C-alpha cells in the first residue's frame, strides 16, 4: 500500500492514481479548483456555462419545476440548494430518499430543507423489500448501503422523467471530492447518467434485478423504482443530470458558514467512524459503509476527512496522520448494535460477514486468524502505518503480504 505524499489517501482507493511526485489525483484536482495549478479551472467561464445550461433548459411554463434536487438533508443538499435557489434563482422539486437508519440530527436537517421555501417530495419506500435489499447488499458485496445508493441515484431520475423536469442537479461528484477526477473523462465529471452510475456509483457490479429470486422473495415488481430508467425512457425525456460541483467552486469546509446560516446543524460530538461533526450525520448505516470500506481498502472516513482538510490547509499532513491513526478503523460499536438490533442479526453473524470482505493482507493475524482488540477493532499492520507516515514518490511496486 502506498500513500499520497501530499494528503493521506492510499492507492487502494478505487480509481485513484498518483503522478511522478507521488501526489494523488484528488490533490491535483483540488489545486486546479483553487487556482494553485498551471491548468486551473476558470470559475467565471464555468459559471457562464451553467447559466447557459439553465437558460436553455428552464421551462417557460411557470407551472413547471426548473429542476430536481436530490436531498438527504446533509451538507451537500444544503449547498446545492443554496446555489440553485439563492445564486441561480431556480425553482426546484427536491426529492428525498430517506436514510436506512436515520439519526435525530439527520431528521432535523432534513426538516430544515422544507423551511427553505422549496417543495420536497418524500419517497416513502416499501420497508419490507428495502430491508431485504439491505441485507442482500451487505452479504453479496459487503455494502449495507448499496440499496440506499440505488434509491438515491435512481429515484430522482424516475421523478424527473415522470414530472417532465428537464434538469437534475446533483451536488459534487464523489470522484471530485475524494479522488479519481483525473481518471474520469470530462463528460463524466459533468454529467450524471447510467454510465456514470455503473462506473462510479458504488454499486459493486450488483443490480437490483440481480436480487430477484424465489430465495430472496424479491420480485422485479418490488424493485422497479431502484432500477435505473431505461435508455429509451431517458432518451424520450431528453433531460440531463449534472454535478453542481463541476460549475461552482465546491468546498464544504469553506462553505460551512453559508449552510449553517441556512439552518444546517452539526451534531454534538464527532461521528463514530471519524473526528468530524458536519458530515455523514443523517444515517448510522452510512458509518458502517465507511467501516466496511476500511476493512476492504485499509482506509476509512477519517482518511477522507483529514485528506480534505490537508488540501484546504487547515491541518498539516503530520496532524492528518495522527487523526487517521486515532480514528480510522475503530470498531463502530454503537452503529453495529443499532444495525443488528434493527435487522435482527446476531453480532457474530455481522462480524463474520465483515470478515469475509476484509482484506486480510492489511491486518495483523495470528495463525491465520485476524487479531481483534478487546473493543472489536482490527489491527492495521505497522508497515502500512509506517508507509502512511513516510510516503515516498518513487515507489517500487511490491505486493502487500
Ligand atoms: Zn493526495
**In angstroms, rounded to a whole number, what is the distance separating the alpha carbons of residues 327 and 275?**
7
Rounded CA-CA distance 239/234 in Å is 7
Say how many Å lie between the CA of residue 26 and the centre of ligand 1: 6
Kindly state the cell numbers that stand for 234: 431517458
Cα angle 282, 290, 268 (rounded to 5 degrees) comes to: 40
pLDDT tens for residues 338-372?
999 999 999 999 999 999 999 999 999 999 899 99
> What's the whole-number mean pLDDT along residues 280-296?
87
Question: At residue 37, does pLDDT exceed 90?
Answer: no
- In tens, the pLDDT along 203-237 reads 788 999 999 999 999 999 999 999 999 999 999 99
Distance from the CA of 7 to the center of ligand 1, in angstroms?
Answer: 4
CA 181–ligand 1 middle distance (angstroms): 12
- Give the start-to-end residue ranges of the domains of the chain: 43-247, 269-389
Q: How far is the CA of 105 from the centre of ligand 1 (A)?
A: 31
Q: In which region does residue 18 sit, left (phi positive, over 0), alpha (psi from -120 to 50) or beta (all else)?
A: beta
Predicted confidence at residue 395, as pLDDT, reads 67
- CA 205-208-211 angle, 5° bins: 95
Q: Are strands 167-170 and 92-97 parallel, antiparallel or unpaired?
A: unpaired
DSSP 3-state of 163: coil
Mean pLDDT across the stretch 141-148? 93
Report whether 343 contacts 325 (CB < 8 A).
Answer: no
The single-letter DSSP state of residue 3 is B
From ligand 1's centre to the CA of 110, what distance in Å?
A: 32
CA 110, 111, 117 angle in degrees (round to 5)?
A: 105
Q: Which three cell numbers stand for residue 242?
A: 449534472
Distance 34 CA to ligand 1 centre (A): 15
The CATH-assigned architecture of domain 43-247 is: 3-Layer(aba) Sandwich (3.40)
Residue 300's Cα: distance from chain center in Å? Answer: 12
Q: Summarize the confidence of residues 143-159 as an average pLDDT.
A: 94
How many whole angstroms from 117 Cα to the centroid of ligand 1? 39
Asked if residue 22 lies in contact with residue 333, where contact means CB atoms within 8 angstroms, the answer is: no
Q: What is the pLDDT of residues 88-113, one digit of tens each?
A: 999 999 999 988 988 888 899 999 99
Contact 372, 378 (CB under 8 A): yes
Ligand 1 centroid to residue 18 C-alpha, Å: 8
- Cα separation of 378 and 330, whole Å? 8
Identify the residue with better confidence: 27 or 396. Answer: 27
Q: Which of 229, 227, 174 is nearest to 199 (CA)?
A: 174
pLDDT at site 103: 83
Beta-bridge partner residues of 366: 369
User: In Å, how far are 173, 279, 325 from 380, measured between CA atoms?
Assistant: 29, 25, 9
Task: Kindly indicate the confidence band of residue 187, based on its pLDDT and cuts at 50, 70 and 90.
Answer: very low
pLDDT in tens, 384-401: 999 999 998 876 655 554
User: Rounded to the nearest whole angstrom, what is the distance from the C-alpha of residue 168 to the centroid of ligand 1?
Assistant: 30
Confidence of residue 176 (pLDDT cuts 50, 70, 90): low
In 72-226, DSSP assigns E strands to 92-97, 119-123, 167-170, 191-192
DSSP 145: T
In the 3-class helix/strand/coil scheme, how is 198-217 assigned residue by residue? HHHCCCCCCCHHHHCECCCC
Q: Ligand 1 mean position to 64 CA, how many Å?
A: 43
Q: Strand, coil or helix: what is 136?
A: helix
The rounded Å distance from CA 382 to ligand 1 centre is 21
CA of 388 to the centre of ligand 1 (A): 12
Amino acid at each position: 500500500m502506498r500513500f499520497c505524499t501530499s494528503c493521506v489517501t492510499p492507492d487502494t482507493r478505487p480509481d485513484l492514481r498518483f503522478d511522478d511526485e507521488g501526489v494523488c489525483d484528488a490533490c491535483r484536482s483540488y489545486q486546479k479548483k483553487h487556482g494553485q495549478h498551471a491548468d486551473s479551472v476558470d470559475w467565471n467561464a464555468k459559471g457562464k456555462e451553467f447559466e447557459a445550461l439553465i437558460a436553455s433548459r428552464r421551462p417557460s411554463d411557470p407551472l413547471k419545476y426548473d429542476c430536481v434536487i436530490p436531498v438527504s438533508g446533509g451538507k451537500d443538499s444544503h449547498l446545492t440548494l443554496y446555489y440553485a435557489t439563492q445564486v441561480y434563482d431556480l425553482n426546484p422539486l427536491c426529492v428525498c430518499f430517506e436514510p436506512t437508519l436515520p439519526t435525530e440530527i439527520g431528521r432535523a436537517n432534513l426538516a430544515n430543507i422544507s423551511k427553505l421555501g422549496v417543495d420536497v417530495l418524500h419517497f416513502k419506500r416499501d420497508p419490507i423489500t428495502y430491508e431485504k435489499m439491505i441485507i442482500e447488499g451487505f452479504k453479496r458485496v459487503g455494502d449495507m448501503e448499496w440499496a440506499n445508493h440505488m434509491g438515491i441515484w435512481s429515484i430522482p431520475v424516475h421523478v424527473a422523467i415522470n414530472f417532465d423536469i428537464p434538469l437534475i442537479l446533483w451536488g459534487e461528484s464523489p470522484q471530485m471530492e475524494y479522488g479519481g477526477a483525473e481518471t474520469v473523462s470530462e463528460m463524466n465529471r459533468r454529467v450524471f447518467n447510467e454510465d456514470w452510475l455503473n462506473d462510479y456509483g458504488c454499486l459493486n457490479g450488483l443490480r437490483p434485478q440481480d436480487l430477484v429470486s424465489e430465495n430472496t422473495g424479491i420480485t422485479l415488481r418490488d424493485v422497479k423504482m431502484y432500477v435505473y430508467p431505461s435508455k429509451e425512457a431517458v432518451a424520450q425525456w431528453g433531460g440531463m443530470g449534472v454535478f453542481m460541483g463541476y460549475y461552482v467552486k465546491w468546498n464544504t469546509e469553506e462553505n460551512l458558514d453559508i449552510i449553517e446560516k441556512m439552518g444546517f446543524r452539526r451534531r454534538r460530538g464527532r461521528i463514530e467512524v471519524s473526528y468530524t461533526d458536519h458530515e455523514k450525520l443523517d444515517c448510522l448505516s452510512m458509518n458502517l459503509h465507511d467501516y466496511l470500506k476500511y476493512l476492504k481498502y485499509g482506509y476509512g472516513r477519517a482518511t477522507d476527512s483529514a485528506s480534505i482538510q490537508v488540501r484546504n490547509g487547515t491541518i498539516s499532513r503530520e496532524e492528518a496522520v495522527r487523526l487517521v491513526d486515532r480514528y480510522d478503523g475503530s470498531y463502530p460499536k454503537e452503529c453495529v448494535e443499532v444495525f443488528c438490533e434493527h435487522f435482527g442479526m446476531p453480532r457474530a453473524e455481522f462480524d463474520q460477514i465483515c470478515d469475509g470482505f476484509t482484506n486480510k493482507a492489511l491486518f495483523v493475524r495470528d495463525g491465520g486468524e485476524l487479531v481483534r482488540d478487546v473493543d472489536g477493532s482490527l489491527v492495521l499492520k505497522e508497515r502500512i502505518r509506517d508507509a502512511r507516515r513516510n510516503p515516498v514518490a518513487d515507489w517500487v511496486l511490491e505486493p502487500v503480504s
